[in-house]
Structure 1
Amino acid sequence: MLPTSVTGYNHTSAAINRFTVNGAVGPNIGPHQGGGSEVCCGVIPRVWTPGLRAIVEWEADPNSKLSTKWPPLGTDAFRAELKKHAAKYTHHIVTVDIPRYEVAGSLKVHFLPCDQVRVSADNIKRGEPDYPYNFPLNMEEPKACLGS
């Protein structure tokens, strides 16, 4: 097993307040952001094996822009507003396949519309032609997701 950094890419309009991949903590990510902040350390096998999977757990704030009109920080009114706002956070957990890699690299987690997630563990950077998940950060979100 190799220690590796964890980074995330949020292709949605919700804020990712926190996430883990196989228990390793990743950074919080604003809407349509990612890649700039890495956290250490996750672990991956030096050699990819068939059936390699990741468990991703995350909390999302679907209304992250609402906090701009809140009462002053530290006040009882602020705490009450935060409690009401946090009640709308969504919590998710999924297990996803990690695609084959030739050279082990960092854990990269992509949050997509409709609570879909993709994880790579290769040594290829986002944006390079061989990277498996070159999705735009500002993905169009459907009005309704299949299965919802």
Structure 2
Amino acid sequence: MSRTLNPGTPRRRPALWAATALACLALQACSQSLPDRLGAPIEGYSHTSAAINYFMVNGNGGPNIGPYGGGGKQNCCVSLPRKWHPGLTVVVEWEKDPTPHAYGKWPERPFSDAWNKRMQEHESKNTRHRAVVEVAPYEELGVIDVHFLPCNQVAVSAVAVTPGNAGYPFNYPSRMEEPSVCPTL
């Protein structure tokens, strides 16, 4: 007895079904794997009377920060591991202006030759720093927060929690004074 297929009934092709099933499994496996590293935005906080004219984390720039200010302004990005591990460090480089409001009190007309000369003198007192900083432990990677502290100290977190909330690793006051003598490390 011969069997005829209805013209609207598709023929089954085992090889085609097997190939399709394997392709779906392969795609599903790819979509479930996550990268080991992710890009995280950078923001900073100055806890001192100095301005941070610029800073970088692993060579990637963060925003400038006024005295006793920061947060809310982010630049992109630094690659960090999805999962924190002991010994995780970043390199932070920055330029600090110890008297950021001085030029607002100068008698010279802004951008005149005399003003530009004084600005060059002012900028010559800016200091540049570099530190290898341990990243505070995190469960979930978030924004990279760089805290600039007295005595050119730096603290870095990358948690998915904003400062001031439970689970944030640091509790620095927004205003910290430079001691008369900084400790030597």
TM-score, normalised to structure 1, is: 0.95
Deviations 1:23-69 (A, max 9, x none): 11011101100112111122211111221101100000001121112
Contact 2:49-2:177 at 8 Å conserved across structures: no
- For 2:179 and 2:111, how far apart are their aligned partners in 1? 37
CA RMSD of aligned residues (A): 1.3
Match status 1:69 vs 2:119: no
Which whole-Å deviations, capped at 9, do the CAs of 1:56-114 have from their partners, x for residues lacking one?
Answer: 00000001121112322332112101111011001100001112111011110000001
Shift of 1:141: 2.3
- The yes-or-no answer on 1:146 pairing with 2:166 is no
Unaligned runs of 5+ in 1: none
Tell me the residue number matched to 1:36. 72
User: Are 1:118 and 2:144 counterparts?
Assistant: no
| C-alpha contact (below 8 Å) 2:138/2:158 kept by paired residues | yes
Q: CA deviation at 1:118?
A: 0.3
Which deviates the most, 28-37 or 64-73?
64-73
Moved more, 93-102 or 62-71: 62-71
Structure 2 unaligned spans of 5+: 1-36
Distance 2:109 2:158 in 1: 42
Q: How far, CA to CA, are the matches of 1:25 and 1:90 in structure 2?
A: 17
In 2: Cα distance, 1:32 partner to 1:62 partner: 12
- TM-score normalised by L of structure 2: 0.76
Amino acid aligned to 2:101: K
Matched with 2:13 is none
Distance 1:19 1:121 in 2: 16
Runs of 4+ residues deviating >4 angstroms: none
Q: How does 1:14-25 map to 2 (within 5 A)?
A: 14-25=50-61
Equivalent position of 1:132 in the other structure = 169
More divergent stretch after superposition (127-136 vs 9-18): 127-136
**Is the radius of gyration larger for structure 1 or structure 2?**
2
Percent sequence identity over aligned pairs: 47
Provide the aligned length of Structure 1 versus Structure 2.
148
Query: Mapping of 1:38-53 within 5 angstroms?
Result: 38-53=74-89
Q: Which has the higher contact order (CA 8 A, sep 6+)?
A: 1
Tell me the equivalent position of 1:58. 94
**Aligned residue for 2:129?**
92
Please state which structure has a larger fraction of its residues in helix. 2
